[in-house]
Structure 1
Amino acid sequence: MSALACLRVVVRSEQTHLSETMFSALVAKFTNAFLEVRWSWPRKFSALNPYAFLLSDPKASELDTAELGRLSAELHAHLFGVTEDESAKVTVLLFEGDDAAMAKFAELDDTEIARAMVDPAAAPAGGRLSRIAIDGTRLPVPSPVGANPDEGDDEIRIPKRPAPIRDREPNVEGLQGIYYAARQIFVGDVISSTPGDSRTRYSLVDGEEHLPPDAAAFDADCVIAAMAFLAESQSDTPLYLPVSFSTLLRPSRRAAYAEILAILPHSERRRLSAAVYDVPRAPSFQALKQLHEALDEHFSAIDLRTRDPAFEIEQLNPEAVTSVTLVLPQAEPERRLIVLRRFISKIDAYKRRRVWPAVTNVRHPRELDLALEARLPFVTGPAICRLQPRPMGGRSWPVDQLPVLSPAETLHRASA
């Protein structure tokens, strides 16, 4: 028997400058994108209205709510930013019952929902209402009068508010600057977002051991982070968002990416670039066509990131993409230099195709010196810029003062 439930997002639109129409559309778009990534097949979902979604799992008798816990925290950060204002908090409710009861629950207005959260008797009959905590567990809402006759206690007991559950560690979001060596200036930033409980920090510029195990979830988290950085920064320099080549081109995941990327405001397209990672040596014409179809609407530039120094740039049409970035391998320093020299040997081919060459995961002074000597225009990596809370794009920075340290490293050095 298939498990069914109605998911309801409770959030206050008056705390934003958006109209109710725009706000509800944003909530619907974000929740759709979230469920596309987290509520994986064979589970299904469908939107009943901007704030209510029907969830199903054909292989379970009861829905597993583990993934749903992140929705409230991520939607809260997306709509309101990081704030201690509890009145702005997003609440996620789950109503399980028959079809008619779930349909009525989906249509309750804000006042009726607020009443049901205090007294479930105000919810449609024939269902069970619970709140989804940030750790994914179900929290019962206060029981209606006489709800526990089996306990043999005639006294009406109003349950106390559940003890607070420690919130999931927030994602660590940040940026790492892209350095344009010819002018000694940062010209853009690569976004990253790492779950707070992860032992490894995720990053596109620090080598393959920092790549995420779940590419789709990482890319979605970076889209959410980008919304905050777009709102906070007035710089015109681009923000590069991670996009997994292999995941995006998988037919079963393409629709999910469309929902995720639809969150990005079209008015900010000029400030957004796609950093497409795990690109093979020779991507096919059809693959690049599908890539452009998926990304051109949202991004003004496309960077292909490859670990192969023999990337077949000659097979690309002129200006097929904006840039190609070599990811230096996790290897001994001499091996890394050999790989970098092989990539540099093809610079003329990149010029003929009018595609910028770049290198990332630069870790050692010799690698940076070699890149500068070869006049590789763009460099990134731990030897260039560590994780920053604000964009580096637009800042001049002398090459002899690289790397730009993280705030914690800077503080430690100042106190040493």
Structure 2
Amino acid sequence: MTRGRSRLGRGEDARSAVATAAAAAGLVVAGVTAATAAAAAVVTVLMARRVVTPVAVRDEDVRVVSVDLAAGEIRLESSPESAMTGRYGFWFDRESGHARLGDVLADDGRTVRRAVPSVDFGRLDRARRGRMNGWYYLGPWELGHRYENVLVETALGPAPAWHIPAETPGPNWIVQVHGRGAKRHEALRAVDTAREAGWDSLLVSYRNDGEAPDSVDRRYGLGGTEWADVVAAVRYAVEHGAERVVLMGWSMGGAISLQAVLRSDEVRERLVGIVLDSPAIDWSDILRFQGTLQRLPHPIGDLTTRLLGTDAAVMLTGLAAPIDLEGLDVIAHADELDVPMLLMHSVDDGFVPIDGSRRLAAARPDLVDFEVFEGARHTKLWNHDPERWMALLRRFLDRQADAAPAEDLIDDEIVG
């Protein structure tokens, strides 16, 4: 796709693109009319384009019914998002306003009343719609700890990151990798726990996330390209004193982290553990699930998976190269994983199905501590049950605090 312009926006190109997509996705089959095939091809192209295109503006999918600032309360139209228990950020007016929402005070099935501890900026009393956000913290300065703005040198240029030292700085670092459509702010919820456990936190950015340098195509690789930036982040940590590294990935950040582990000896040399929160394990499964949420015909998710892996994806989505989703299948390479893993996912995720996490846990029960949550939405496990979430992370980090990284194990074998 050319910059700022869709190939599907012109008649001849549209016909060519639909034909290409139909052929690439295998839509032209006996008994299917040309019109049906063409319609399915267009939907497939749109879904493929959406999944690889960075989000510019997030949907405001929660309707504001009323606001009483004097009472410190807001009433929202009831939905799975607005009715979540716990505390959240709330963006409104196309992200020009932000407030903190406390727990649910009342829910009659039609509207949800929540506490409003603070309005950070914007006119919440004039807001008509908004979106719930699990980040909660707006920046590391809100945590009250010393932090540094640093730059990680990647192949595409310097990528900004936050380094937040432990209470007693030492050789243990946890590298945080945020998810699709998010930024490094997402991982601030883990900093207090890591810091108290004696781990420095490095919250990183990666290509096309709106902070790090863009790739040429300005498209997500769903882990197949971004992993190189995580390798650079681990290199930064090691150059600044890290002897043990834990990778923590949120949503697509989980897919990115796992690809970094599977593809980089440099990462594996210092790696002592992996933490995954609501991870994207199986993209084919995710695309099928998303198609169902959007009430699309059942085959569209599978067709999108097939399309992304063809040369046609380059023309139709703007990708620099096709994405081999089968090649990103972590479960198929589960035998290559060799460090302990904390895997946390909710059965009520609502965006990334838990099935992929279940299969990974089943493939490596010797390594994976699989913790299932209920009632929490996507990447909002901390918000929903912070005590349990922090206790799990603390226990895992404590166990890995004295673990020998792969590099030391290799050296010991050589000496022995």
TM-score, L = length of structure 1: 0.29
TM-score, L = length of structure 2: 0.29
